[in-house]
Amino acid sequence: MTDVLFAALKAGALTLPNRIIMAPLTRCRASAGRVPNVLMEEYYGQRSGFGLIISEATSVDAMGVGYPDTPGIWSDDQVIGWKKVTERVHAKGGQMLLQLWHVGRMSDPIYLNGKKPVSSSAVRPAGHVSLLRPEKGFEEPRALSVSEIKCVVEQYKRGAENAMTAGFDGVEIHGANGYLIDQFLQDSVNKREDEYGGSVENRMRFMLEVVDVVTGVWGADRVGMHLAPRADAHDMGDSDLPGLFRTVATELGKRKLAFICARENFEDQPLGPSMKECFGGVYIGNEGFTAETAREAINEGKVDAVAFGKAAIANPDLVERFRTGASLNAPVPETFYGSGPKGYTDYPTLQLSTFKIQPSEETDSMKKILAFSGSLRAGSFNQKLVKIAAEGARVAGAEVTVISLSDFPMPLFDQDLEEREGKPEAAQRLKKLFSAHDALLIASPEYNSMITAALKNAIDWVSRADSEDEKPLSAIAGKTAAIISASPGGYGGSRSLGFLREMLGNIKVTVLEKEFSLPKAHEEFEEDGSLLDAEKALQVKAIGAALAEA
């Protein structure tokens, strides 16, 4: 029987390869000017296996922000930043929508250049401004005038147009969680007495005007709506929540939107099933689901797909984990918001997790690998790469000895080493090491450097014949090698690999097809020696593992 989570789903013009959706998740990692950056490219690229990615909430205007370092979609630089994100996702076979957002009253003058937040009415929310320290209570917002409402509608239109320029596959309008659209919908906040307040029809007017301008840009079949029918965020409430949200779903259904995604826990008489019926289209559930409860909800017709939030944060390969029944990484809430890769792009995938498996206890049959870094300086980029690759080899069942040229005396760096009388002590030591190991893992810096020449001398010396016919020593001939290279200045890495490959081939060493080059190493490493990019770390470890299994 086909697993319903992996059945394709048609949502308007979108065809989802599976029904596991990445929910919109505020992570506060944008750069200055609220511009998406390389870290965000990596984060979303890692999650391209989801049936659909809905981006984090993205402000349509500078007056619509309420958190530090959330992205926007009103400036040219923001559009350029987002375009790089969508290109990464598309290159990996994924599809992605931008969530259009205005926080309304859920902000503070500190985020708005000293201006007061705006809302449907001048009703101050309870609670404190999000992520602001020391804590500060929300201020009373200013009610938007009718002409200002029209301007905000146009901001949503501009955001939709910019999202198209940035290469998204569609957009989702954020109408949930007590933000601006929700502040117009629910009568605990909306106290207006004009055409935007009073009756349900009037309170829906702003939302529907936004829907109409956005669908005018994208077409209704590439637009979704995010709702929170429980009014359980940011001090919201309505005198008739079921009636309000069923009416909202009905009106959105008339406009043939691609989907509704609703954040609502299904454990306590959810409104979702009746909203789904009123809407008549694809309905995505969100909050508190597991793989199993998601399957149940889909099979029972309560939802068509499920969006996952915290599980998506901690498991970039959540789709594959659900497919195989693998265990999940636990999220680390302390890193949900903030800067840097920690808790953002460093959660392990299933492939990375395999490196935690203990090697076989049958150590007598272990392959012995000599991991050799052609580097003088302790803690160099190539030494770091060797250690990462060695970890992969060890977990794949090999015994690894890690050495470096920095462990040997300076005669190795003499280009005329072979002219000296007798074999230097360094070469004798290296010969013994090479003889005692089955395979070589070699890292070298940029081409034609003194260090690469020294590495050549080291290998060259131990492969000399100790008889007149100069047959290569068994110390190195016939072994298998893998090569990796890191260069600090953005040059030379691939040339160094080619140089080493040729040299090793000449002395009858079989070189694995797998190799790795890091041309701008100074941009790639954490202070602790780990790689910033978890996928690159996996590639390096995989080379070590491949050598162990060769």
Q: pLDDT at position 489, please?
A: 55
Q: First CA to last CA across the chain, in angstroms?
A: 38
Name the nearest CA neighbour of 164 among 211, 98, 94, 77.
Answer: 98
Q: Identify the structural domains of the chain with CATH numbers, from first to last.
A: 4-347 (3.20.20.70), 353-549 (3.40.50.360)
Dihedral, 510, 513, 514, 520 alpha carbons, nearest 10: 100
Q: Using an 8 Å Cβ cutoff, are 332 and 314 in contact?
A: yes
Q: What is the DSSP letter of 481?
A: E
C-alpha–C-alpha distance, residues 402 and 382, integer Å: 12
C-alpha–C-alpha distance, residues 394 and 357, integer Å: 10
Q: pLDDT at position 309, please?
A: 98
Q: Using an 8 Å Cβ cutoff, are 160 and 171 in contact?
A: yes
Three-state secondary structure call for residue 384: helix
Q: Using an 8 Å Cβ cutoff, are 254 and 203 in contact?
A: no
Q: pLDDT at position 301, please?
A: 97
Task: Give the list of residues 6+ apart from residue 368 with CB closer than 8 angstroms, or none.
Answer: 398, 399, 400, 401, 436, 437, 438, 439
Three-state secondary structure call for residue 20: strand
Q: pLDDT at position 25, please?
A: 98
The vertex-368 CA angle with 364 and 370, nearest 5°, equals 160
Q: pLDDT at position 499, please?
A: 60
Q: What is the DSSP letter of 265?
A: -
C-alpha–C-alpha distance, residues 53 and 89, integer Å: 9
Q: pLDDT at position 457, please?
A: 57
**pTM for the whole thing?**
0.68
pLDDT truncated to tens, each residue of the chain (550 aa)?
A: 679 999 999 999 999 999 999 999 999 999 999 999 999 999 999 999 999 999 999 999 999 999 999 999 999 999 999 999 999 999 999 999 999 999 999 999 999 999 999 999 999 999 999 999 899 999 999 999 999 999 999 999 999 999 999 999 999 999 999 999 999 999 999 999 999 999 999 999 999 999 999 999 999 999 999 999 999 999 999 999 999 999 999 999 999 999 999 999 888 889 999 999 999 999 999 999 999 999 999 999 999 999 999 999 999 999 989 988 888 999 999 999 988 999 999 898 875 444 333 333 444 457 888 887 766 556 677 778 888 888 888 877 788 888 776 665 544 444 444 444 444 565 566 667 777 888 888 776 544 444 445 555 555 555 554 443 433 345 566 788 787 877 665 444 445 566 666 666 665 677 776 667 766 767 777 766 777 777 777 788 888 888 887 7
Q: pLDDT at position 413, please?
A: 45
Tokens of 175: 């109408």
Q: pLDDT at position 421, please?
A: 43
Three-state secondary structure call for residue 378: coil
Tokens of 299: 């099979």
The three-state DSSP-derived secondary structure of 138-199 is CCCCEECCHHHHHHHHHHHHHHHHHHHHCCCCCEEEECCCCCHHHHHHCCCCCCCCCCCCCC
C-alpha dist (Å) from residue 340 to 68, 346, 547: 14, 10, 33
Give the active site residues: 179
Tokens of 512: 């694995």
C-alpha–C-alpha distance, residues 122 and 228, integer Å: 22
The pair phi, psi for residue 544, each rounded to 5°, is -60, -40
Q: pLDDT at position 127, please?
A: 95
